Amino acid sequence: MTGVFVGMPGESVAYGTGNLQGSRSFPEAAGVALRDAQLRSNLSRATATIRAKRAAAVAELPDWERLREAASAIKTDAMSRLPELLEQLEAAVRARGGNVHWARDAVEANRIVTDLVVAKGARSVVKVKSMATQEIGLNESLLAAGIEPTETDLAELIVQLGHDFPSHIVVPAIHRNRAEIRELFVREIPGAPIGLSDEPRELAMTARAHLRELFLTARVAVSGANFAVAETGTVGVVESEGNGRMCLTLPETLITVMGIEKVLPSWRDLEVFLQVLPRSATGERMNPYTSMWRGVSPGDGPTEFHLVLLDNGRTATLADPAGRAALHCIRCSACLNVCPVYERTGGNAYGSIYPGPIGAILSPQLTGVRNKHDPNASLPFASTLCGACYDVCPVKIDIPTILVHLRARSVDAGRRRPDSEALAFRVMAWVMSSPGRFSRAERLLRLARIFSRGGRIRRLPGPGAAWTMSRDLAAPPKETFREWWTRHGRPVR
């Protein structure tokens, strides 16, 4: 990568690569998504369901706010001594017979995993649902090496069979309804029953039959991790279906790819995260399957374990004190489910596999933003700053404040070559820093009355056209409030 990176000194910082950026800006991609009526109805139904479940699950806990405080404090502490904790984790995993690899970016991580699979002589792998491997594009990399990956999480399998892109962190096929899934299974799963209906149970049984054989024959599994405990070397995955548990226990070799920010200092920290994560993610008191392991245990589970620690822009993110809290994210998706923008556009409009409010602050920090034309430069602006995300975040990431901070970073990057917007904002600040200039500007604004009919402006030229595309604008009144006030001789100070 070359170029000047926003807010970052020099070019020695390693930014993230992989599926963290789309090819179009958010407004462009969102425009397309908004026209998909099926997507809109699927999303609004699904997010409303999860929102209600989460709200009920959280309302049950009298100490919810204290749990959020605790989760936030643990993450802040972990991020403040990340190098030390990662080395402690590495030593603990090695002590229990595991192997640890360090990957600077997606390319390195893919090479490490692919080489390991090739060395085992395996032609296929089974996969546990994992954001880290989606982030680095591991499936594409394995396929290029002639290795067939199979996603075993039902929703992730639906995405894979549809040659699709995940649109949500926890429920990646949220943009599909069951009729669409039925069609996909009939087309893509060999031996799918003739006359398959779109009943969820029938669909699940079809996927189950398809996956069972793979679980029993696979020699290598690949997973992500929800957390790793530095103190004990424990790695953990939480899931709902049990397919993850099969991958984690049946094959001889297990390779786990984990973002470095997932490390927790101590075993007792899990008490907090195992409470806040399922309630925030799926609205369950407890997720059905929690798998935890330390290295390898002879006679039980995989005989070979590899932990790949992935940076891919996380160190760069950590370097910005005002933005680094994005690394506290535990991928629960509560912010996606309450976001009115996400609910209308879906995840694919964000370009990155991390969509929604958290994606809008995480993706641009991981990839770095070179200039305002980078697709990820548009992400911090993909929010009304309504604050719904911050209210539900179980680790209390102040997403609106970080969005504003990243907007400022991108404005600063363009400081030397201001565009028309930057000039307009400079002029406005100059006008508004003087009461006299402000009054004169208000009188000038009144000229807009020439566009009005019946007190309403229905069409504006220039940038105002984006407003009047769908909204009228009340015509500026003949008299400002202050003029009215003065005319009536009312008290001033």
Residues that bind another protein (CB under 8 A): 26-27, 30-31, 34, 340-341, 344-345, 380-388, 390-391, 401, 404, 407-412, 421-422, 425-426, 428-429, 432-435, 438, 442, 445, 456, 458, 463, 466-467, 469-474, 476-477, 479-482, 484-485, 490-493
Residue 4 or residue 286: which is nearer to another protein going by CB? 4
CB of 476 to another protein, least distance (A): 6
Shortest Å distance, C-beta 433 to another protein: 5
Phi, psi of 282 (to 5 degrees): -120, 0
Strand pairing class (220-223; 99-103): unpaired
Q: Give the shortest CB-406-to-another protein separation in angstroms.
A: 8
DSSP 259-300: EGGGEES-GGGHHHHHHHHHHHHTS-SS-SEEEEEES-BTTB
DSSP assignment letter at 240: S
Min dist. Cβ of residue 90 to another protein (A): 37
Q: How far apart are CA 366 and CA 369, in angstroms?
A: 9
Pick from 358, 392, 397: which is nearest to 53 by CA?
392
Q: Which of 275, 207, 267 is nearest to 242 (CA)?
A: 207
| Beta bridge mates, 223 | 256
Whole-Å CA distances, 248 to 2, 92, 169, 257, 330: 40, 19, 20, 13, 20
Burial class of residue 392, CB neighbours in 10 A (0-12, 13-18, 19+): buried
The first and second tokens of residue 373, run together, are 């034309």
Tally Cβ neighbours within 10 Å of residue 121: 8
Q: Which of 380, 367, 423 is CA-nearest to residue 17?
A: 367
Task: Please give the Cα distance from 366 to 393 (Å, whole number).
Answer: 20
* Residue 328 DSSP class: G
Neighbours of 474 (CB within 10 A): 9
Shortest Cβ 63–another protein spacing (Å): 20
CA–CA–CA angle 167, 168, 169 (5° rounding): 135
Residue written as token pair 């953990």: 236
Q: State the amino acid at position 195 in one-letter form.
A: G
Least Cβ distance, residue 384 to another protein (angstroms): 3
Residue among 253, 219, 255, 216 nearest 235 (CA)? 255
| Nearest to another protein of 47, 275 (CB atom) | 47
Say if residues 364 and 355 touch (Cβ distance below 8 Å): no
Strands of the sheet containing 220-223, edge to edge, are 99-103, 304-310, 253-259, 220-223, 124-127, 148-151
Contacts of 80 (CB under 8 A, 6+ apart): none
> Contact at 8 Å (CB) between 67 and 272?
yes
3-state secondary structure of 242: coil
